[in-house]
Structure 1
Amino acid sequence: MSNVENVFQVVSDLILELKDVDEDGVTLDTTIESLALDSLDFVELQLVVKKKVGVALDPQAFANRAIATLRQLCEYVVEIKEADAVPA
């Protein structure tokens, strides 16, 4: 599971569980800010991504990489996953 669409499915399923938002309102171009995620939501997101995708998200990544949309988040997860898969 290392492409953007697969990661997005995991992330969007979680967001739909956590927030009272319409499924049509959660797209790759949805801004994270518009979802009004709180700190507990971010912790849950970290746990689910680690469990289902195998990537540990660094909380500072959102600040350091200016991750503003779900697309940027999913691309970041894929980037980490692919970097971990490259033999040293």
Structure 2
Amino acid sequence: MVLEKLSKLIAEHKDVDPAGITLETTLESLGLDSLEVVEIIMEFEEETGVAIEVNEKLKTVGDVVKLIGECE
């Protein structure tokens, strides 16, 4: 569920197919910079009510999913 919701948000930001986003997809390959990642996580927080503390070690979509899972 987290991956699906996150993929949808990324797809809306970068106009990509959410079906092509996997846990192994790098944020760099999606063209996401750190500011965009923070914006997407903030949107996720608003939609779910989960507070997420962002760190700089996020390299893949899986890293973001794991971070969100730790905060839920």
Please report the TM-score for the alignment, with normalisation by the length of structure 1: 0.65
Higher-Rg structure is 1
AA matched with 1:80: C
Which of these residues, 14, 19, 26, is aligned with residue 14 of structure 2?
Answer: 19
Unaligned runs of 5+ in 2: none
Corresponding position of 1:28: 23
Tell me the CA shift for residue 43 of structure 1.
Answer: 4.3
Which stretches in structure 1 are left out of the alignment for 5+ residues?
Answer: 1-5, 82-88
Equivalent residue letter for 1:75:
K
Number of aligned residue pairs: 71
Give the TM-score taking structure 2 as reference length. Answer: 0.77
Q: Percent of aligned positions with the same letter in both sequences? A: 37
What residue number does 2:52 align with?
A: 57
2:51 pairs with 1:80: no
Shift of 1:48: 1.9
Higher share in helix:
1
Q: How far is 1:16 from its partner?
A: 1.1
Contact conserved, 2:23 with 2:61, CA < 8 A, in 1?
A: yes
Q: Is the 8 A contact 2:52 2:67 kept in 1?
A: no
Paired residue for 1:69?
A: 60
Distance 1:79 1:34 in 2: 24
Question: RMSD between aligned alpha carbons?
Answer: 1.8
